[in-house]
Amino acid sequence: MASKACMLAVVAATGLLGLAAGQPSSSDGRLDQALRALWDEQFSAAQELAQDLAQSDAPDGARAWVIVAAARQRLGRHDDAAQAYRQFLAVCQDSGEKQYALRQIELCRQSSQPAPAAQAPSQGLSQEELARLAEVQEQISIETTEHFVVRAPNSALAKLVARQSESALAHICRDLLGEPDYPHSVEIFIWADQSAYRANAPGPSDQWAGGSFTLRQDQGRTIRRIDLMQLGQDRKFDAAMIDRVLPHEMCHLVLVEFFGQAHCPLALSEGLAMAAEPVANKANIVLAGAALAGQKKISLHDMLAARCCDAGNAAVFYAESYSLVNYLQCRLAPEAFKEMLQQLKAGCCLEEALQRAVCMPAEEGFLDRLGAAWENDAIRNAQFIQALETRSAL
Ligand SMILES: [Zn+2]
């Protein structure tokens, strides 16, 4: 029988990676080979190897169905993947593994149905509403909700930002971090334009997002604050403020308290802040893939060591940060992703946090393999988007 540790790794392989090296196997190393192919993102090869094994007489061959299933899932063959998970269900004894397979079957079912495209919050606004949101009135409007006190140059804007703030906060706390309670109040100041922002906002603008957050102590009280800009250079309402800047800065604010004294690599914090934005950032996916395939690449080691980035490589750093967090979110089940963050919060480095989140024994060279798998995936995703865009331009 495959050892428990090996089986855990098989299950983990569907989320992130393979293989506890050197585990004894009764399948002549074929299980390990299939897992290795899965880890190297050679999904067709992994599928074939594992299917041969699953249909063979090897004593633990039938358990290879989980690799067949995972490989098919990654190839986008969701119905076939569900079929393989059912084969796996028929042979697995462990209740945790059964639950895992059942959850994956449900995910396959959901993936085989077209998901509604994510929409930016500003997409639903009419021209009249956009014009109203751009009004700069002398009287500041204040809107208060459970977690926010919003001050804005008009009441429609104060109401909209208050509503979007509650929904962004719920997404960040519940979906990204797995900590739904946020027992704090945040002040949000919206300044009409850049000069008002510069004159009043306490912190420097976030290089990427164009807003800022503040977390500081003032006479025994904790001040939580976000500063934003209402108008773009063209003096029209800047829709990016609610679509991107607000969720981005809020995520930073929440993360600083979430991690407390623990170190969160800058790349992870920026990647998470961008992942909090409701719509996928295709430009960043393309830029990350191009950088990782070429001269401007920042390696995973350098990404995790970076404490700041200079103007020369900032765009690539942010794009790769986004790509890395996307990669981890796609490879890990949501619970495992949250567990990884909890392990980081407890003081682990990313390598340790990931291994603990997927119940893997520590393995030498893990980070290098993770880096290589992420790079391959990022390059492929970028090529995929470019191919789609080329096709739709024809
Ligand atoms: Zn940021």
| pLDDT, tens digit, 9 for 90 and up, residues 238-275 | 999 999 999 999 999 999 999 999 999 999 999 999 99
Cα 97 to ligand 1 centre (Å): 38
Cα 357 to ligand 1 centre (Å): 25
Taking the model in full, what pTM does it have?
A: 0.75
23, pLDDT greater than 50? no
CB atoms within 10 A of CB 6: 23
- Write down all domains in the chain, each with its CATH number in brackets: 4-112 (1.25.40), 124-259 (3.40.30), 266-393 (no CATH)
Cα 348 to ligand 1 centre (Å): 22
Cα 155 to ligand 1 centre (Å): 27
Cα 313 to ligand 1 centre (Å): 15
Alpha-carbon span 338 to 175, nearest angstrom = 9
Cα 360 to ligand 1 centre (Å): 31
Q: What share of residues in the chain are helix, strand, coil (percent, to 5)?
A: 60, 10, 30
117, pLDDT greater than 60? no
pLDDT of residue 18: 37
Cα 288 to ligand 1 centre (Å): 16
For residues 110 and 155, the model is more confident at: 155
pLDDT of residue 115: 54
| pLDDT, tens digit, 9 for 90 and up, residues 301-313 | 999 998 887 777 8
Cα 267 to ligand 1 centre (Å): 10
Name the nearest CA neighbour of 187 among 221, 220, 147: 147
Cα 245 to ligand 1 centre (Å): 9
CB-based contact 70:35 (threshold 8 Å): no
229: left (phi over 0), alpha (psi -120 to 50) or beta: beta
Cα 304 to ligand 1 centre (Å): 15
pLDDT of residue 59: 73
392 pLDDT band, cuts 50/70/90, is: low
Instruction: Give the mean pLDDT of 346-372.
Output: 87
Cα 366 to ligand 1 centre (Å): 28
348, pLDDT greater than 80? yes
Cα 273 to ligand 1 centre (Å): 6
Cα 249 to ligand 1 centre (Å): 7
Instruction: Give the mean pLDDT of 306-335.
Output: 87
